[in-house]
Structure 1
């Protein structure tokens, strides 16, 4: 397992989002079936860490990914982009063989 990498921009945005949440909150990213390409990323704020969670930290920002989702995200880079289309987290996933235009769903 090579893990997941957070960019500096992603860590900064996660810290901004979590600043208004209760102490100990983390960003949870999971992979669910669905979306226009077969799988989709789901983002949420959570305070509970489960036994099979992988925790990724950078500059005080914490992201948790469950073990099942990790097998689809191993090696991914999580970034935060602000461009003409808008602001969003962008996941560059080396395991994805295709993704949709919105960037939130992919296939393997």
Structure 2
């Protein structure tokens, strides 16, 4: 593991690598409590694909892998692998509810464009992987 930070105890300090909103934390804590996994956290990661080039992924994970950055925010442990961190740095995990239901999303300052459904994004410095990123939101 490369870094551990506690944003709620660092008032006025450097911004955390990643954070979670109050509503997102409430939802995540409920899911983590019912997961049955001791010491679990929310793993936030980036994978290739989606209509804009990259796609967000989240999972309940009780493993801390070599190179992970671990952030504790609002009582939630967030785990980010070393490959995903540069694309997520400064982002905030949130939970949104709408007419289609609800789900977790990432408010990402690194994304320069995203698809209409909010599950995939692109940055200025990255092109969509070959053969990916050309479909609509249904191609996730």
**TM-score, length-scaled by structure 2:** 0.72
Equivalent-residue separation in structure 1 for 2:116 and 2:100 (angstroms): 11
Equivalent-residue separation in structure 2 for 1:72 and 1:29 (angstroms): 11
- Give 1 or 2 for the bigger CA radius of gyration: 2
Q: Which has the higher strand share?
A: 1
After TM superposition, give the deviation of residue 85 of structure 1 in Å.
2.9
After TM superposition, give the deviation of residue 92 of structure 1 in Å.
1.0
1:98 aligned onto 2:113: yes
Structure 1 stretches of 4+ moved >6 Å: none
| Equivalent position of 2:27 in the other structure | 13
Out of 77, 86, 108, the residue aligned to residue 62 of structure 1 is 77
Unaligned runs of 5+ in 1: none
Unaligned runs of 5+ in 2: 1-13, 124-140
3-state secondary structure, aligned to 1:72: helix
Q: In the comparison of the two structures, how many residue pairs are matched? A: 108
- Give RMSD over aligned pairs: 1.4
